Structure 1
Amino acid sequence: TGKLVYVRIIQLLLHMVTLVGCIATLGHFLNIPEFYEMSFIPMAVYTAISFILLSAAASLVNCNTGITALFTGKMIGNIMARRLFLRLLLATLAIGYIRILSHRNDWISPELSIAFATSVYIIISLFLIRSTSSKLNAIHRKRLIAEENFRIAVYAAPYALIISDRGGNIITVNECTKLLYGYRKRELIGRNVKTLLPPMLHEDYDAKKREFYDTLRVMKLGFEKQILARKKDGTEFPVEIILTPVRSSYENFMLATVIDITERKKQEEIIRDQLIELQLKNEEMEQFNYISSHDLQEPLRTMSNYIAMVEEDYSEKLDDEVKAHLGAMNNAVERMTHVVRSLLNFGKLGRKRKLSATNCNEIVQEVIADLYDLIQKSEAEVKITCRLPEFYAFKTELRQVFQNLISNAIKFQAGDERPIVKISSEKKGNFYEFSVADNGIGIDPKHHEAVFRIFERLNSEEQYQGHGIGLANCKKITEMHGGKIWVEKNADKGTIFKFTILNLEHE
């Protein structure tokens, strides 16, 4: 306090020097010796200007106190003080100069001149006051509107909102805060925010508060590590808190948005339990599928061996009808073996999947090379109509999708028509959409969903070979990639199979 008084005294003396310098300078410019002689050694104009500059510069050293602070501050009052002072100063100088000219040229009597100057000064002062008042009122109206909008937003918010100062003392709360914590508003105003937190979190809150006011950036609490709040009755509940800085012209405040996540936590627990249960069921189903498929292969293998033994040991004793029956039995056993093996492979699909950088152009070229004999035999043409993308995927499984769709497009052809298969892709949002179009026999729209069911066949095995599991595999693989697969009718002839893969960019 003593130092502040000392600074203000020094500043006052400097202002007096500035005033004397200004009076002396005016005396020189207006040729009024009384202004710069002042009953002591006359002050030269350069000396007067030097005094003004030095004293003004020295007073700016402590610009946040005294009269200097009135003109250097950033608040609305300081801004208006600067404007009003400059205008009054100019008006005073102008009126004074006219008064001097009137006195020197004897335009009017001294009494009338004083009355006229006073009246003009009052009128100008009233005009400046009115102008300043209008601007202050406009600013005040805007501030009131802003405060009202802010108040309405705070009180109408669906979450608890708490505004506190740097010391952590609550300034205001909204209606949701009262409902959430069970306090009345007057019970919270002025109390520390720690009232709403369990004691074990008080130290963490102090550390977060210091960090918040040091950085003045939005902070999120409870999104990674669970934090608790405490109601008036002592009940603790999980919350997520967003701390937002509220800046004002004189102080910064903290706006805390408190979200009660009790119900969400309950739902997460239910979902977690369901996922665990589902995972156990899936493991049981996979184990059952594997054991069943493995155990079914053994009797089928035994039947096949016995059929072979009968044909080999009793071939001379068997007539043609018995041999035909044995052949039919053997074919049925082979088909059943293929079905069991397909079922086993379907159950294993994706169990050892590995996400890796995948170039779809290379995959399709490899599939075309593997299907070389089928393509040559059917004289098929497989076209890639655009550059296929690169991204992260389950490479082995994705390759199986292309292989199934391309081989089906070649296999399901009408008559002797040459198969033409067109492969393309298009980026759509967060997905890549692939298209495999053919000119084959097509699929009736009423079967567009049924074709993806396991062991679903639309054509007899005598017409087209297969076990009805390829498209089911494709559906499972695309869903593993976060996508889906569907069928569309080709505008010209045939079928278009489309599927999407989640876009994981290849860096």
Structure 2
Amino acid sequence: MQEIARVTLENEMDLILAHKRSMKLAELSGLSLSAQTTFATAVSEVSRTTIETGKKGCLVLSVENEQRDKYIVACLINENEIDARAREGLENARKLVNKYNILTKGAQTSIELFFYILPPFRIDIFKLDEWRQLFRNEPPISPYEELKRKNEQLQDLSEKVQKSEAQYKVLTNALPLIIFSLNPQGELIYANEWLTRFSGETIESLNNGKWKHVIHKDDYDSFSLLLKNGITSDAVTVKTQTRIKNKKTGEYLWHQVSLSPLKNDLGELQYWIGYIVDIHAQKVYEQTLMDNFELKQTQEQLKDNQLMMEKYIDELNRSNRELTQFAFIASHDLQEPVRKLLFYSDFLLQKYKGNIDEKGMEYLQNMHSASQRMRNLIQDLLLFSQIHREKMEFRATDLNVIMNEMLQDLEISIEEKQARLTIDPLPTIQADEVMMRQLFTNIIANSLKYSKPGQSPEIKVTNREVDGFLEIAFEDNGIGFDEKYVSQIFTLFQRLHTRELYEGTGLGLAICRKIVELHNGKISAEAKEGKGATFYVSLPLN
């Protein structure tokens, strides 16, 4: 069941919204005006009893299109059990719909009203996304609706921020080093669990005591420079070595402290990202090697190991910085402005089409197109960042089922391009179903996008088993590319063609590579300009 819109039910104004949005969903589903009114009346009958009880309720409008019969569905969630007044409203509503369900969980009751959609009306994932967009961008009918919508957007944004912060904390707590952030005044604003475990101090106690309780007195003067607002904002990385007290043993152990600045688009310093890594063993070895010439060879090996460790730490620090920066931009700086740009530009294009000259309309259209590209980029970045090994669910996956689902998702694009697909039977392997569907969708969509103008795309999917691996080949007759770019096409934001010729964010094949690597597989490609391309995906059977 695909959710399209929802309305919280608290007062009579919400009842108007519930009726209006029910009518709108019925209209989008191709129902007649009388059927629209019937469905909306049934929803109002049940919604009214929820509001009259004085308890908070919620209306969720959805589409059931996974079965042979398709329905629009209104689910009324009420915190109360059904009483006599509610039964009267339900009795009136059930006469107006095709079927209904009543679900109870404790004191909560959910009433589902189903209204049948005629079979010729086609509903796919793209149409559902379009409907959700219409409800999000629909102009408010009153100041109350505008305030209510903004409040819901703020709540949704708050949930996303909390989820992003939770993911960030899980990641940093899993790494075997101390990770922290300082504001421009040198105060701790975040630290992972390793800092408290090692030092026994909280963020508040460290800020109040300026770290004096945990830093060796001989090292404090140099370390305190990091806490003062005297570090130049032009610095790329600031490093120092200091001894930090272990709360369990009371011993001061050598650590390396590194700080890197995080700036906004204007080049203004937002805060510092840092890590603290234990180098006590290396320091002990260094002191020993200074007194013993016979251990010189060991000293050289230690230096090599230290260089390798610093390389890994730099990579961890870079990944951490990119993750933090992305979460900040996606959650705070990009999503809401892009929504507003899309909303207002679309409103101006529709409302003032006849009042703006041709040049102005061109500017507005360009602004609307740019906003859509930004929204697509944010969505692809969020998808890329959400692909984690921890979220994978390996199970026996029939790739034929996954391929059929993908073909349904791309049905409109395939028909528009008049593409011909030849797909050999595929086996069942151990894999994550959701990721496999994303992988197949991205590769086939890539072949459709880069087809030759004026020629129907031909895509052939074959497979074979080689040494415990399933090798799947996706061959097309598109425009192809120069093979010297093979190493680049699977990296982030790489485009071989201008946006004017082919739309896209440059993330599709990078997502494919990440999915395949998480399955311990490999992805590669062969191509010639003007003669098509072949993508090879190798996945372990078990």
Shorter-chain TM-score category?
0.3 to 0.5
When the two structures are superposed, what TM-score results if normalisation uses the length of structure 2? Answer: 0.39
TM-score by length of 1: 0.42
**Structure whose CA Rg is larger:** 1
Structure with greater helix percent: 1
